[in-house]
């Protein structure tokens, strides 16, 4: 550990794509060096990312993060300073110069297949597949996982909160509790994919074209001598869009003072018992001739509390959800893994699988086929080999063989196959996906396990493969 | 929500300090506009950040994140494009031009006091205090909170894992499960402050001068036809530093193959029952004449599992801890808040406090005084007013009035008071702090509550303050 780096700026770490190469775990670099030394440079590897088990309480995942993965893969390189940094690491003392030459020239030249953002997915289904020269395919593991694990966790959590809100708007409010400000920005993106109508995060709004929402804090009220003075001042500046925070002192007295300053856009409740408070606030607003003024609720909300308030008929129009959403607090780490499934070398294709206790994997490049029932609802998925059509001729079974393949090509030879969808389209897709789930899988509490079958050919491959030694 | 932003790079969002102004919640901007409109520009506000309750299971916090807060405050500004972006937001339609002029010129010109990084702290103690013109002091809330909440959560979790390891090294291994790669980098910094000896994260190593560690993945082994070929290849590239991952197929067979390739630095176990496996691995290593080869354990470890392995005498030399550490999984969101405590306007100083149900705050600028017993161990803290010396003349009580003030000046008028400590010094400070804690507070399981007293003057202020209306 070296001293005296305190004054160097570190925000915006990934400003230069020449640094993307260092955005990885050291073992990806040591493996790259050993692969190259061993002459495996021409070996082509296929890796897949998947989640072994769905997180606690979740019946499905909402996939997110692909756009940042693509940005990273297209920009991936090591600038000269990065190579110098690596060469100077003590553990790299024995690495030979050709390795550094190869890394200096490294770009991502492979293929990326992925399930599009906003799609729902399940355990053991590859969310993406990378096929590239092994050094490239291996190196990108860490960044790919951190990005997709994070955004998928947040999009999935958001979908649950939005589900609970049953049509009322949910705003992502959690920047202050995110894992740093970058996590807040990408988390806001994921939350909107999951169904939020917007975010409080201004930079996320700018970066991704999201709708941003903001009211005022208790400190605003406290900066004035009287609460009414604070409300009047805010209303003067925002005559058409004031949503006044009313619980700094006495919530219902606050509502009365809020309506006294003129026609307001609404009030926000941030503490206390939301059901009676929202009802009483509604009565005060209506009684003051402001039936169109809305009620926003915030403060330690999660999908359970939102569902309870909705079920009880609380007259709340918008929910601002912070900590629980932006950290996916009850399941804050999605356990996505990135595993080697096949090796191509010298014209030979070799499927591989890992057998470690509790960590076994399905071999070879795979595809997910989704069968839909007569009402357009998802019936089951089939985990199949990438090149197979399940039960191609099975016309007697409406479901079999009609599965839509979920993984689509995104990069081919390092180049974009087509334009990525814009965020509004991703969000609409996520909503349609959620609405196509069986209700038993979609529900918040004790969801059933969605059926994911293994194709006959994949089963056969697994039983015929000999454990490597 | 606008369409078609998909192709724009978003990694390295905070590359330009002109964007720092947007790294906030929208309500900080709406409040800024209303403050300025109301002529509160000259009002000076004092805000404090603190945590209401310690997270589950924690007996103390290890404070971290100050360096990034300072970087942000010193760089804070709005570039022209940021101002244009804000002006174009629908909710800002009524905001008058002078507000935008003021924001365009905004810099942080205030004072920052803070508890130095690595110091242990407790509930209700201000971790930092900002005193500045109210627009500046308010605006910085979101970034300050997201940064200090994140890094303090991770440093605190790391301290627990390091405590459990009882002198054996702990390496931060979690980038792939962090909330995006930036969270991984700043989380690695915090983990080292908390006591980790290093990280797997190469970019974090470069950004902060951390020691980086790396071995190999299962995919490396699987890329070769035989496990022994993989080990031999790795050993050729790293003859002096090979730590071979042995559990791809059969763990103990893997250890035997590892020692067969020559003298190795060690082996890594990543699955299975670590106690018998580590013992058997140790026997194989010793039996092969490699008593200096080390055993690294990883795979779903947390402080409980580490403590159990250490207590059972497992011959493990280094622990690689990933998901649980980098997300502080059992307590992934530190609930730090940033509250207005005083207003200065027209020569008048007015302490303020919020009274919302369950969210009441202590008024006025405060200091934390830490009393130490005869053995140098922390005895209790006193939450006092910033300008008071507790029991100044109380020479009869060794403890009272001898408390060391924890908050020190960091920025004065927006300028650094002195150089910030380098990371090795912060880490050493954190260790000394942990070792000064009462054992009952320091212990992993059911820690006792460390005593935090309220000074007589602060108590008096609270009882004499009338609720605002």
Contact A67, B5 (CB under 8 A): no
Percent of chain B clearing pLDDT 70 (strictly above): 93
Q: What pLDDT band is residue A353 in, cutting at 50, 70 and 90?
A: confident
B145–chain A Cβ distance below 8 A for any pair: yes
Query: What is the strand order of the sheet B336-345 is part of?
Result: B348-351, B336-345, B44-51, B128-133, B111-114, B408-412, B415-416
The pair phi, psi for residue B199, each rounded to 5°, is -145, 160
Closest CA to B178 of A152, A333, A28, A322: A333
Q: Which residues of B touch A468 (CB under 8 A)?
A: 222, 225-227, 248-249
Supply the pLDDT for residue B402: 61
Q: Which residues of A touch B86 (CB under 8 A)?
A: 202
Residue with the bigger pLDDT between A184 and A399: it is A184
Q: Spelled out in words, what is the top-level CATH class assigned to the domain A157-326? A: alpha beta
Does the structure show a pLDDT above 90 at A120?
yes
What pLDDT, in 10s, does the model give residues B419-455?
A: 999 999 999 999 999 999 999 999 999 999 999 999 9
B382–chain A Cβ distance below 8 A for any pair: no
Supply the pLDDT for residue B465: 81
CA angle A138, A141, A144 (to 5 degrees): 140
* Range with lowest mean pLDDT among A372-376, A400-404, B251-255: A400-404
Supply the pLDDT for residue A403: 87
Percent of chain A clearing pLDDT 90 (strictly above): 89
Of A37, A224, A359, the CB nearest to B233: A37
DSSP-derived letter for residue A446 is S
Contact B262, B256 (CB under 8 A): no
Of A13, A34, A328, the CB nearest to B207: A13
Q: Which residues of B touch A206 (CB under 8 A)?
A: 22, 82, 85
Average pLDDT, chain A: 93
CA atoms within 13 A on the CB side of B79: 11
Question: Among A4, A195, A203, A207, which would you mutate to test the B interface (most chain B Cβ atoms within 10 Å of its Cβ)?
Answer: A203
CB contact under 8 A, A236 and B177: no
Mean pLDDT value of segment A345-359? 82
Range list for CATH 3.20.140.10 in chain B? 17-153+334-464
CA angle A349, A351, A354 (to 5 degrees): 150
* CB-based contacts of B431, cutoff 8 Å, min separation 6: B195
| Spatial distance between the Cα atoms of B143 and B138, rounded to a whole number of angstroms | 11
Does the structure show a pLDDT above 90 at A325?
yes
Contact A321, A170 (CB under 8 A): yes
Average pLDDT, chain B: 93
The pair phi, psi for residue A404, each rounded to 5°, is -80, 130
| Spatial distance between the Cα atoms of A429 and A409, rounded to a whole number of angstroms | 18
Range list for CATH 3.20.140.10 in chain A? 17-153+333-365+407-450
Of A22, A31, A422, the CB nearest to B203: A22
User: CA dist A320 to A2, A244, A305, A306, B73, Å?
Assistant: 43, 14, 12, 10, 27
| Spatial distance between the Cα atoms of A382 and A401, rounded to a whole number of angstroms | 9
* CB-based contacts of B404, cutoff 8 Å, min separation 6: B369, B370, B372
A window 241-260, beta carbon within 8 A of B: 241, 247-249
User: CA dist B32 to A354, B19, B411, Å?
Assistant: 56, 17, 22
Does the structure show a pLDDT above 80 at B65?
yes
Contact A121, A60 (CB under 8 A): yes
CB contact under 8 A, A340 and B26: no
- Provide the token pair at B328: 């502080």
Supply the pLDDT for residue A204: 98
Secondary structure of chain B in the HEC alphabet? CCCCCCCCCCCCCCCCHHHHHHCCEHHHHHHHHHHHHCCHHHCEEEEEEEECCCCCCCCCEECCCHHHHHHHHHHCCCCHHHHHHHHCCHHHCCCCHHHHHHHHCCCCCCEEEECCCCCEECCCCCCEEEEEEHHHHHHCHHHHHHHHHHHHHHHHHHHHHHHHHCCCEEEECCHHHCCCHHHHHHHHHHHHHCCCCEECEHHHHHHHCCCECCCCCHHHHHCCCCHHHHHHHHHHHCCCCCEEECCCCCHHHHHHHHHHCCCCCEEEECCCCHHHHHHHHHHHHHHCCCCCCEEEEECCCCHHHHHHHHHCCCCCCEEEECHHHHCCCCCCCCCEEEEEEEEEECCEEEECCCCCCCCCCCCCCEEEEEEECCCCCEEEEEEEECCCCCCCCCCCCCCCCCCEECCEEEEECCEECCCCCCHHHHHHHHHHHHHCCCHHHHCCCCCCCCCEEECHHHHHHHHHCCCCC
Percent of chain A clearing pLDDT 70 (strictly above): 93
B349–chain A Cβ distance below 8 A for any pair: no
CATH H superfamily, domain A17-153+333-365+407-450: nicotinate phosphoribosyltransferase (3.20.140.10)
| Spatial distance between the Cα atoms of A189 and B13, rounded to a whole number of angstroms | 13
Contact A159, A434 (CB under 8 A): yes
Of B149, B153, B248, the CB nearest to A176: B149
The pair phi, psi for residue B450, each rounded to 5°, is -70, 135
Of B27, B343, B356, the CB nearest to A247: B356
**Distance in Å, alpha carbon of B310 to nearest chain A alpha carbon:** 22
Of A215, A239, A336, the CB nearest to B27: A215
CA atoms within 13 A on the CB side of A225: 4
Q: What pLDDT band is residue B5 in, cutting at 50, 70 and 90?
A: very low
Closest CA to A105 of A115, A93, A97, A113: A97
User: CA dist B252 to A41, B214, B259, Å?
Assistant: 30, 21, 11
Of B37, B138, B427, the CB nearest to A236: B37
What pLDDT, in 10s, does the model give residues A73-115?
A: 999 999 999 999 999 999 999 999 999 999 999 999 999 999 9
Q: Which residues of B touch A127 (CB under 8 A)?
A: none
**Fold classified for B17-153+334-464:** nicotinate phosphoribosyltransferase (3.20.140)
* CB-based contacts of A276, cutoff 8 Å, min separation 6: none
Supply the pLDDT for residue A398: 36
Closest CA to B113 of B425, B366, B461: B366
* Range with lowest mean pLDDT among A21-35, B95-109, B346-360: B346-360
What pLDDT, in 10s, does the model give residues A232-271?
A: 999 999 999 999 999 999 999 999 999 999 999 999 999 9
Does the structure show a pLDDT above 90 at A298?
yes
Does the structure show a pLDDT above 70 at B208?
yes
Of A1, A14, A248, the CB nearest to B354: A248
- Provide the token pair at A120: 């729902």
Mean pLDDT value of segment B355-384? 88
What pLDDT, in 10s, does the model give residues B273-319?
A: 999 999 999 999 999 999 999 999 999 999 999 999 999 999 999 99
**Fold classified for B156-326:** TIM Barrel (3.20.20)
CB contact under 8 A, B323 and A329: no
**Distance in Å, alpha carbon of A379 to nearest chain B alpha carbon:** 31
Closest CA to B114 of B139, B71, B154, B148: B148
- Pairing verdict, β A61-62 and A378-385: unpaired
Does the structure show a pLDDT above 90 at B326?
yes
Q: Which residues of A touch B358 (CB under 8 A)?
A: 271
CB contact under 8 A, B11 and A1: no
CB contact under 8 A, A202 and B24: yes
Q: What pLDDT band is residue B387 in, cutting at 50, 70 and 90?
A: confident
In this prediction the pTM is 0.96
Supply the pLDDT for residue A9: 78
In A, minimum Cα distance to B235 occurs at A34
CB contact under 8 A, A146 and B176: yes
Contact B111, B48 (CB under 8 A): no
| Spatial distance between the Cα atoms of B246 and B240, rounded to a whole number of angstroms | 18
Supply the pLDDT for residue B390: 59
Does the structure show a pLDDT above 80 at A229?
yes
* Range with lowest mean pLDDT among A332-336, B3-7, B266-270, B317-321: B3-7
Percent of chain B clearing pLDDT 90 (strictly above): 89
Range list for CATH 3.20.20.70 in chain A? 157-326
What pLDDT, in 10s, does the model give residues B93-135?
A: 999 999 999 999 999 999 999 999 999 999 999 999 999 999 9
A434 in helix, strand or coil?
helix
CB contact under 8 A, B332 and A334: no
Supply the pLDDT for residue A185: 98
CB atoms within 10 A of CB B420: 18
| Spatial distance between the Cα atoms of A320 and A274, rounded to a whole number of angstroms | 13
CB contact under 8 A, B214 and A25: yes
A192 in helix, strand or coil?
helix
B window 322-341, beta carbon within 8 A of A: 323-324, 326-329, 332-336, 338-340
User: CA dist A360 to A48, A462, B269, B321, Å?
Assistant: 13, 11, 16, 21
Question: Among A202, A221, A328, A410, which would you mutate to test the B interface (most chain B Cβ atoms within 10 Å of its Cβ)?
Answer: A202
Does the structure show a pLDDT above 50 at B398?
no
Contact A170, A158 (CB under 8 A): yes
Supply the pLDDT for residue A5: 40
| Spatial distance between the Cα atoms of B53 and B142, rounded to a whole number of angstroms | 19
Of B6, B222, B236, the CB nearest to A37: B236
Query: What is the strand order of the sheet A266-269 is part of?
Result: A198-199, A169-172, A318-321, A294-298, A266-269, A243-245
Does the structure show a pLDDT above 50 at A399?
no
Q: Which residues of A touch B71 (CB under 8 A)?
A: 9-11
Q: Which residues of A touch B343 (CB under 8 A)?
A: 222-223
Mean pLDDT value of segment A177-197? 98
Does the structure show a pLDDT above 50 at A389?
yes
Supply the pLDDT for residue A467: 58
């Amino acid at each position: 550990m070296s001293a005296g780096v305190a004054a160097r700026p570190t925000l915006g770490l990934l400003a230069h794509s020449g640094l993307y190469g260092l955005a990885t775990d050291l073992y990806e670099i040591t493996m790259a060096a050993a692969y190259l030394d061993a002459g495996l440079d021409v070996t082509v590897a296929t890796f897949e990312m998947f989640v072994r088990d769905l997180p606690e309480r979740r019946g499905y995942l909402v996939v997110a993060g692909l756009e940042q993965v693509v940005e990273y893969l297209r920009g991936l390189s090591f600038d000269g300073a990065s190579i110098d940094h690596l060469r100077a690491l003590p553990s790299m003392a024995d690495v030979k110069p050709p390795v550094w030459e190869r890394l200096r020239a490294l770009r991502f030249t492979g293929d990326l297949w992925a399930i599009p953002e906003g799609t729902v997915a399940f355990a053991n289904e590859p969310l993406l597949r990378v096929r590239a020269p092994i050094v490239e395919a291996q190196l990108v593991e860490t960044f790919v996982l951190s990005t997709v694990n994070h955004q998928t966790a947040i999009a999935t959590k958001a979908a649950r909160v939005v589900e609970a809100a049953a049509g009322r708007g949910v705003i992502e409010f959690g920047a202050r509790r995110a894992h740093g400000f970058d996590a807040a920005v990408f988390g806001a993106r994921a939350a909107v994919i999951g169904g939020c109508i917007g975010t409080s995060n201004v930079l996320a709004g700018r970066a991704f074209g999201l709708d941003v929402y903001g009211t005022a804090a208790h400190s605003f009220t406290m900066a004035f001598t009287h609460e009414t003075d604070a409300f009047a001042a805010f209303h003067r500046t925002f005559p058409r869009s004031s949503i006044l925070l009313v619980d700094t002192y006495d919530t219902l007295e606050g509502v009365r003072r809020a309506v006294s300053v003129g026609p307001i856009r609404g009030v926000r409740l941030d503490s206390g018992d939301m059901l009676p408070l929202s009802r009483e606030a509604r009565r005060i607003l209506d009684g003051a001739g402001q039936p169109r003024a809305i009620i926003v609720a915030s403060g330690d909300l999660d999908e359970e509390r939102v569902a309870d308030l909705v079920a009880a008929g609380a007259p709340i129009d918008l929910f601002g959800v912070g900590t629980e959403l932006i950290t996916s607090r009850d399941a804050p780490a999605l356990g996505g893994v990135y595993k080697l499934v096949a090796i191509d070398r010298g014209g030979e294709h070799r499927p591989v699988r890992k057998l470690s206790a509790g960590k076994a994997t399905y071999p070879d490049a795979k595809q997910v086929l989704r069968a839909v029932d007569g009402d357009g609802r998802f019936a089951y998925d089939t985990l199949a080999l990438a090149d197979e059509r399940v039960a191609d001729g099975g016309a007697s079974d409406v479901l079999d063989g009609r599965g839509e393949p979920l993984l689509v090509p995104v990069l081919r030879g390092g180049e974009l196959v087509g334009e990525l969808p814009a965020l509004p389209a991703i969000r609409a897709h996520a909503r349609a996906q959620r609405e196509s789930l069986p209700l038993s899988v979609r529900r918040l509490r004790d969801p059933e396990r969605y059926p994911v079958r293994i194709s006959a050919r994949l089963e056969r491959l697994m039983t015929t493969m000999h454990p490597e030694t």
